[in-house]
Structure 1
C-alpha cells in the first residue's frame, strides 16, 4: 500500500536537492542560510516521524530563527534565458501548459476512478489520502512528459524549483506553521479564555454587540493565524456556540457560514496568509511585498461590516 509517507519522502528529497544546490550557489551571498533552511525542511519531511516532539520543536525553532534573522536570500540559478522562453512560447503556444494540466487531471480523474471503480478493492492507497498521493503521482507524470517532449537538461526541474522556492522564501512553509498554531491554541484553551473575557465585558442581552465581537474576533484571529479555518474553532467555542447559539438561540448555519466569511476578511489583510498575499507578490516580483494586502484592505473592511449586519439580520429571525 502506498501511504502519505511516500509523498513526504518525495517532497523531502526535493527540498534536500534545493538545499544542496543552494549551498553550491556561490553567486548567492546568503546561500548557506538558504541551504540550512531547506535542509531543515528536508529533515522534517524525511525524518519527522522519528525526531519526536522535542526534535521537531527544535527544528521549527531553527526554521523560525533562520527566517526571522534575514539569513535567507533569493538565488539566481542558471535556468533558461528570456530569449529562450520567448522562442519556446512562439513555437509551442498554449501547448506549454500541457505538463502543468497533467497534475490536476491525474489527481481528479485518478481519484474518481479509484473511488467509483473496482480499483478501490485492491487497497492501493492509504484510505482518505488517495487524492494527495495521486497529486504527487501527477507531478511525476508531468516531469516524465516534460523530459520526453522538451528534453531539458537533467537539472532543469530542480533548478527551476529552487528558483521558485527562493522567490517565495520562508512564506512557503507558513501554512503548515499556522495549522500547527491553530492546534496549539485549541489545546491551550484560548477559546475558553476569550469566551470568559467576552461575557465579562459585554452586558447580558446585547445581541448586536455579541455578534460584532464574534465577527471581529473571527477576522482578528484569522489575521493572527493566517487561516479562518484555524480561527473558527477558537471563536466558535468562545462566542459562537455558548453565547449566540445556546444563549440567544441563533441559527447555527448562519453563524458558521457568515462567521467564516468574516474570518476571510481578515485573510485579506494579513501577511500571515502568505499563500494568498505574500506568494503572489513574490512571484510577480512586486516592489512592495505587502502590495496585495494594501489593495485588499478597502474591500475587506466594508465586507466585514456587511457580514456583521448579515449575521444579526438572519441569525435571529
Structure 2
C-alpha cells in the first residue's frame, strides 16, 4: 500500500539529488551553502518521522540560519541546450502539456478510486489520500515524459535543481506559513480575530457572514502570504462558528470555497514571495524590488473578480434556503 511516507521518501530523494549536484557544481557561487540547504530538507523528508519534534525543530532553525546568511546561488546544470528545447517545442507543440495534465488527472482519479473501489483502497492509504495521489501523479507524469520525449536521463533532476536554485529559500515559505497558521490556531488567535472582525462587520445575515469569511481569508492571506496559514485562523474565527453552525452552511462547500478566497489574496501580496517575487526576479522586471511589482499589479484585477465570484458561489451553494 502506498502511504504518505512513500511520498516523503520520494521528495527527500529528489532534494538529496539537488544537494549532491549542487556540491559537484563548481559554477555555483554558493555550492556548499546550497548543498547544505537542500541536504537538510532531504534529511527532514527522509528521516523526519524518526527525528521527532525537537530534531525537526533544529533542522528548521538551521534552514532559517542558512537562508538568512545570504541568497542561494544559481548553478549551471548540465542539461538540454536552448536549441534542443526549441527543437523539442517545435516538434511536440501542445503535446508537451500532456505529462503536466497527467498530474491533476491522477490526483483526482486516485482519490476517487481509493475512496470508492476496493482495488484503490488496497493500493492507496486512506490517510492523506489526495496528497498521496498527487505524488503518484507526479511520478507517473515524469515516467511518461521520459518515455515519450526521451530527454537526457539527468535532465529532470538538473532542471529541477535549476528551478529550485532560482526560487531559493522561498520554496519553504508555504510549509513555514502553514505551520505558523497551526501555531496561531493552537494559541486561539482565531477567536481574537473573530471578535475584531465582528466589531467591524455586523454578521447579521448569511451573506454578511460569507462576505466577512471570504474577505477575511483574502486579507489574512495578504498579511501572512499563504492561504494555508490563514485558513485555520479564519475558519476557526468565522467559517465554522458563524457560517456553518449559526447559519447552517455546508462545511465541505464553505471550507473549499473559503480556501479559494484565500488564494485570491495570494495573488495580491509580496508576502507570497515564491508566487509573486520570484517570477518578477526571473523575468528581471524593472520594478521587481517594488512591493507592488508588475506581476502583482497584473494579478490584482483577476483576484478581485475571483474573490467576488467565490463569495457569490459560497452564498448560493452552501446554504439550503
Category of TM-score, reference length = shorter chain:
0.7 to 0.9
| 1:296 corresponding residue in structure 2 | 299
For the aligned residue pairs, the C-alpha RMSD in angstroms reads 4.1
Q: Does 1:61 align with 2:64?
A: no
Contact preservation (8 Å) 2:107, 2:133: yes
Any idea what the Cα deviations from partners look like across 1:81-112, whole Å, max 9, x if unmatched?
21111222223333333433443343344444
Any idea what the Cα deviations from partners look like across 1:104-162, whole Å, max 9, x if unmatched?
343344444444444146x2221144443343333333343444444433322211111
- DSSP-derived class of the 2:193 partner: helix
Alignment of 1:1-16 (within 5 A): 1-16=1-16
- DSSP-derived class of the 1:269 partner: coil
Q: What count of residue pairs does the alignment treat as equivalent?
A: 310
Displacement of 1:296 in angstroms is 3.4
| 1:175 corresponding residue in structure 2 | 174
Which deviates more, 28-37 or 16-25? 28-37
Change (3 A) 1:213 1:59: same
Contact preservation (8 Å) 1:37, 1:66: yes
Paired with 1:33 and 1:137, the residues of 2 have a C-alpha distance of 31
Which deviates more, 99-108 or 77-86? 99-108
Contact preservation (8 Å) 1:103, 1:139: yes
- DSSP-derived class of the 1:132 partner: helix
Any idea what the Cα deviations from partners look like across 1:24-60, whole Å, max 9, x if unmatched?
1111112222112111110110111111112111211
Paired with 2:55 and 2:24, the residues of 1 have a C-alpha distance of 27
Alignment of 1:7-46 (within 5 A): 7-46=7-46
Which deviates more, 51-60 or 257-266? 257-266
Contact preservation (8 Å) 1:168, 1:282: no
Displacement of 1:196 in angstroms is 5.3
TM-score, scaled relative to structure 1: 0.76
Paired with 2:9 and 2:22, the residues of 1 have a C-alpha distance of 20
Any idea what the Cα deviations from partners look like across 1:219-241, whole Å, max 9, x if unmatched?
44212332345324424544667
Which deviates more, 187-196 or 276-285? 276-285
Change (3 A) 1:298 1:176: same
| 2:230 corresponding residue in structure 1 | 231
Contact preservation (8 Å) 1:265, 1:300: yes
Paired with 2:145 and 2:45, the residues of 1 have a C-alpha distance of 26
| 1:184 corresponding residue in structure 2 | 183
Q: Does 1:83 align with 2:83?
A: yes
**Who wins on radius of gyration, i.e. which is larger?**
1
Displacement of 1:274 in angstroms is 4.1
Which deviates more, 285-294 or 174-183? 285-294
- DSSP-derived class of the 1:182 partner: helix
Contact preservation (8 Å) 2:114, 2:125: no
Displacement of 1:73 in angstroms is 2.1
Gap runs ≥5 in structure 1: none
Alignment of 1:122-201 (within 5 A): 123-195=122-194
Contact preservation (8 Å) 1:15, 1:41: yes
Change (3 A) 1:155 1:285: farther
Displacement of 1:179 in angstroms is 1.1
Paired with 1:188 and 1:81, the residues of 2 have a C-alpha distance of 51
Paired with 1:138 and 1:241, the residues of 2 have a C-alpha distance of 32
